[in-house]
Amino acid sequence: MLVAVKRLYEWYGSKGDRQLKLYEGDDHALTRNAKEAEDMIVRFIARCAGVRMTDLEPEERKVLDDSLIGSVEEAVEVMRKGGDLEGQERLR
């Protein structure tokens, strides 16, 4: 799995606008770091879309600050249904 993550890191963006964050000791669903990972993804998407987070209206910012998928349990269920937890991928 780590090889796939590093490959994606190499494919996306220039060195100035990408970041590789590994959560040591966490599982495939990032159950311990889900909110931080989600926040990083939201910021990445905003940058790719040319949106500056500081330019957002308060209502727009609130939507992004709220969890997009809900609870960690809901995120795990989505991953399970999508087959993301098959094979070597696992939860603690």
Instruction: Assign 3 a pLDDT band (cuts: 50, 70, 90).
Output: confident
pLDDT tens string 64-81 = 777 666 777 887 788 778
Cα-based distances in Å from 7 to 64, 75, 78: 27, 24, 24
Count of residues in the chain: 92
Note the pTM of the prediction, 2 decimals: 0.64
Q: Which residues contact 7 (CB under 8 A, 6 or more apart)?
A: none
Least confident of 1-5, 45-49, 68-72: 1-5
